Amino acid sequence: MQIMLACNNLAIAASSICFYLSLSEHFENGALNGLPRQQRLAAVHEGRVEEGRGEALFWAALLFNALSRVASEAQKAAFLKDWIIVIVDDSENGQLSTHNFVCATIDQVAAFFAPILCGIALDTLGKPYSALAFMAWNLCSWIVEALVINNLYQRTPSLHCRDSKSQTEPNYCSALFGDAFCMWRRQSCWRPMFALSLLFFTVLGFDNSINFRSPSRTAANRNCRRRCSEYFEVCTGAILGCVGVACYKFMGDRRYNIVLIGLIGLIFQNVFLNLTTVSIFLPGNQFDLQGYAKNVTFSSWFDTAYGSIFHVKNQTMARCNVPTIQESENGFSWMLHNSPSLLVFFVGLTLARFGLWMADPAIQQIMQETVLENERYRVNLAQNSMQEIFSFLKDLLVGVIAFPLVYTFGALIVTSVTFVFAGLVIYLSYFISCNL
């Protein structure tokens, strides 16, 4: 655990330093001083200014960030899928629902404050020095986390030893996919785990929805009211996430079937997410797949794909005669009077967080209670891989194939809702089998 914690924080520190050096060279280059940001970027991409080392540092920062993500997932899996079970078993009156509630609440509280604090840092310190501030914060939190983990380890003797690893007989499944995936498939709870994986194939998150809402994000980000409205949406989602986790804890304390709690959460998520589908047919909707198909060519599609990956402004796609969302000083006021479609979309997107964070800890508890100790790490390795595969396919669909454009986003909404509904159906089959 301490090794993963160290790898995570050291990778974040290295990434922050690379970002600082890259941003300092890019935005403080004497040849670019005094130019608006868009002109500075255009100068670099057109070759009028050599970016050189800054570009290499930028990619190095992304690499270290990816390594940090791997270490973070390993650390999360070790604590939430193994340590927490042992800690509960060693305590006299411990309950998994209580510990899962605490961990999920911390996660949502962090999601509430993170965008606010990051926005303040970016506005007051600027991008290069904000990277150093984030590095300092992670180094300080590393010390606190290391002390907490060491304290838990010393207070829980059962963490000092483990059962011997189970031996699996060689078979065709192991030869093709490896022991971890075969062991994952043999679990009695593989359907809830697979249902949870399907939830990762969705663009209905606040990161993608902000792209959908405002194609000209640079101008919008300079508007304080507009940024506050975006923060409000993210923070409201975090609050509803806390409410969902609290409902999970409330029902768990009253001995409700944990499988039933997960089913109720997925039903709520699907009901609210379907509001985003309804928004496609309301006034103010920008969805025009037919118009997009008439205007797009392979050349314009390729230019947009290249630009979405390397952040190059696309001139070809700009010639498509498709309307874009208007900029406004007050996003909520504009949505209420001019675009009921966007209002319904963000209401559904935000309310769905309640169901998601009611189902997520419930499915996690099902895994904690059913997976054997000597199989936890391999099963969770396979589970994390499944989740990342669906997340990668979603990113591929959005970033390369379809793009988060207002006139094609409706198709991505339908695709996302379909995958989430498929997760509900698979989970429902598990619920029925448990109650037969």
pLDDT digits (tens, 9 = 90+) for 38-76: 555 555 555 444 455 667 887 888 888 888 888 888 888
Kindly report, residue by residue over 241-294, the tens digit of the pLDDT. 899 999 999 998 888 889 999 999 999 999 999 998 988 888 777 776 666 667
Any idea which of 52-56, 227-231, 363-367, 427-431 has the lowest mean pLDDT?
Answer: 227-231
- Distance, C-alpha 202 to centroid of its chain: 10
Burial class of residue 243 (count of CB atoms within 10 Å of its CB; 0-12, 13-18, 19+) = middle
What pTM, to 2 d.p., does this model score?
Answer: 0.78
- Total residue length of the chain: 436
Any idea which of 181-195, 206-220, 226-240, 302-316 has the lowest mean pLDDT?
Answer: 206-220
The alpha helices in 296-408, defined as continuous H runs, are: 298-310, 331-338, 340-370, 376-396
Angle at the Cα of 238 (from 119 to 332), degrees rounded to 5?
Answer: 70
Q: Using DSSP, how many helices (H) and how many strands (E) does the chain show?
A: 19, 0
Q: Which two structure tokens, joined as six digits, stand for 185?
A: 């498939």
| Percentage of the chain modeled with pLDDT above 90 | 17
d(CA 140, CA 12): 12
d(CA 280, CA 270): 16
